[in-house]
Amino acid sequence: MPSLLRRITLTPAEPAADQGVRGDVVAEALEPIPSYCEVVDGHVHDVIEQTGDAAHAIVEQLVKVDSLAEVMAGDVSQLAGTLSRTEGELSHISASNDQLVGRLISYFLHRDHQIRALVDQMRELNQHVTQIEEVSRATNILALNAMIEAVRAGDAGEGFSVVADEVRKLAHRSSQAAHGIGSSIADLTARLDAVLSDDSQFDSDEPLPAQTEETAMTRRLGGIAGAQREMSDMVAGILKDTVNAAHQVQRSSDALISETTGAVAQVQFQDISRQMLEHVAEAVGDVARQAADIAAYARGELTEEELRDRSINVESLRAKHVMARQRATHAQQTGQEAQSAGEPLIELF
């Protein structure tokens, strides 16, 4: 802003010839200056006070901002520490679980291989059943031949005929037993093949039969499930802690925003102080002009009338005030009764 003092342009009148300098006129011209300066002084003190109040409020808010930022930093640091520790624990549990699951898969594959080998061996048993059946057939034929020979021998062969019949019966029973074994083996291998090749039950929504029997395998599987649950609980705990910490950071952040916004709003004092100081500078310019006029009068460059016409007046200063505080200060400095500022600070028409 250009200095108002520099904007003052003196327009002295033509030198008044033969005009003496009257002390009372000079005194009269000097008279309003003290009260004028007192009002200006009051305004300057207003600005000082207002600036001080605003600076104090800003510093107070910045201190709160600082403290909130510190709390936030602490929250974030605590969260980072928790996450870091949990990450270590999770990765340990996960590695251990991976190892167990890997061993379990290998174990199942090995068991699968063993069962398939057993099934193959069972299929091989069929060859022996066939051999037994062949032996039974041959024995049966042998028994029939023996019976024919016994009949041919007449009475002497009667006893032998009984033995031959028993042998035939044994051959028949052996054949039946071999056939039964063969059927059972075929049925068993077919069912085992079906079990080994069909895993659709795993994906089925139908509940599998509950296993209450505790075996080494169920214990192993229970251990893996337990580790998995532990990991899930830990992840749930971390998420809960993270959400809580995020809420805390959110609250601190909201408070921080509120404080910074408040601090930003406090900067309005600059606009108020600027306007007050502009009026002060203008008033100081008036005083400077009055002093220059008095000097001009003393030099005979200004007449008494011109000096009086141009003279400053503390009431003219009052008319320039725009703020309630300026008017109150003016009244206080000039000993007048202050008019109450009854107007609301916010008014909707």
Identify residue 5 by its one-letter amino acid code.
L
Q: What span, in angstroms and rounded, lies between the C-alpha atoms of 161 and 148?
A: 8
Q: Which of 156, 208, 210, 348 binds another protein (CB under 8 A)?
A: 348
Q: Of 216 and 346, which has the nearer Cβ to another protein?
A: 346
Structure tokens at 318: 């009052």
- The least distance separating another protein from the CB of residue 253, rounded to whole angstroms, comes to 12
Q: What span, in angstroms and rounded, lies between the C-alpha atoms of 239 and 247?
A: 12
Of residues 235-294, which lie at the interface with another protein (CB under 8 A)?
257, 261-262, 264-272, 274-275
# residues near another protein by CB under 8 A: 24
Note whether 272 and 323 are within 8 A (CB). Answer: yes
* Stretch near another protein under the rule CB under 8 A, chosen from 60-68, 87-95, 173-181, 341-349: 341-349
* Stretch near another protein under the rule CB under 8 A, chosen from 144-152, 196-204, 303-311, 339-347: 339-347
CA dihedral 304, 309, 310, 312 (to 10 degrees): 110
Does 115 contact another protein by CB under 8 A? no
- The least distance separating another protein from the CB of residue 250, rounded to whole angstroms, comes to 15
Please give the helix or strand (H or E) that residue 248 lies within, else none. Answer: helix 216-266
Q: Which of 55, 141, 162, 341 binds another protein (CB under 8 A)?
A: 341
Does 24 contact another protein by CB under 8 A? no
Q: Which of 18, 155, 213, 347 binds another protein (CB under 8 A)?
A: 347
- For 150-183, give one letter per residue: b (16+ CB within 10 A) or e: beeeeeebeeebeebeebbeebeebbeebeebbe
Structure tokens at 188: 């068993």
Residue 78 CB partners (closer than 8 Å, separation 6+): 245
Residues in the chain: 349
Q: Of 236 and 265, which has the nearer Cβ to another protein?
A: 265
Q: What span, in angstroms and rounded, lies between the C-alpha atoms of 65 and 252?
A: 10
- The least distance separating another protein from the CB of residue 265, rounded to whole angstroms, comes to 5
> In 3D, which of 296, 326, 322 has the Cα closest to residue 309?
296
Of residues 310-329, which lie at the interface with another protein (CB under 8 A)?
322-324
- The least distance separating another protein from the CB of residue 223, rounded to whole angstroms, comes to 54
Note whether 299 and 62 are within 8 A (CB). Answer: no
Q: Of 214 and 343, which has the nearer Cβ to another protein?
A: 343
- The least distance separating another protein from the CB of residue 324, rounded to whole angstroms, comes to 4
The most distant pair of C-alpha atoms in the chain lies apart, rounded to whole Å, by 199
- The least distance separating another protein from the CB of residue 316, rounded to whole angstroms, comes to 16
Q: Of 165 and 282, which has the nearer Cβ to another protein?
A: 282
- The least distance separating another protein from the CB of residue 317, rounded to whole angstroms, comes to 15
Q: Of 100 and 324, which has the nearer Cβ to another protein?
A: 324
Structure tokens at 68: 């909130």
Q: Is the dihedral of CA 273, 279, 282, 287 positive or negative?
A: negative
Q: Of 213 and 271, which has the nearer Cβ to another protein?
A: 271
Instruction: Give the CA count within 13 Å in the CB-facing half-sphere of 74.
Output: 8
Does 125 contact another protein by CB under 8 A? no
Q: Of 292 and 328, which has the nearer Cβ to another protein?
A: 328
Q: Of 36 and 269, which has the nearer Cβ to another protein?
A: 269
Interface ranges with another protein (CB under 8 A): 257, 261-262, 264-272, 274-275, 322-324, 341, 343, 345-349
